[in-house]
Amino acid sequence: MSLSRIKEAVANKKMICQKCNRPVQKFEKYAETIDAVRDGFNIQEIESHATRVTLICNNDGCDWKERTEYWDNYIVD
């Protein structure tokens, strides 16, 4: 679900580079996150629906690259 949202945002040029403000050209998915949280002696696995991606600007003269799970903040409507 979130992966298709990323794909769509990149395809529609709505994922914006934070350095040059042009649309990000590429992304690499690196993980669906399942966060393990230490709670005293127990380890709780908390499933989160975040998808971490590496956003790659790839526009001329811009080398911006960011690994983030807050990619949602970079999508403009």
Q: In the chain, which residue ranges form alpha helices assigned H by DSSP?
A: 2-11
Least Å from the CB of residue 20 to Zn ion: 3
Q: x/- string (CB under 5 A) for Zn ion, residues 10-49?
A: -------x-xx-----------------------------
C-alpha–C-alpha distance, residues 18 and 41, integer Å: 40
Q: Name the residue nearer to Zn ion (CB basis): 2 or 59.
A: 59
Q: Is 62 in the site for Zn ion (CB under 5 A)?
A: yes
DSSP β-bridge partners for residue 36:
45
Burial classification of residue 60, based on how many CB atoms lie within 10 Å of its CB (0-12 exposed, 13-18 middle, 19 or more buried) = exposed
DSSP β-bridge partners for residue 29:
53
Least Å from the CB of residue 17 to Zn ion: 3
| Residues binding Zn ion (CB under 5 A) | 17, 19-20, 57, 59, 62, 64
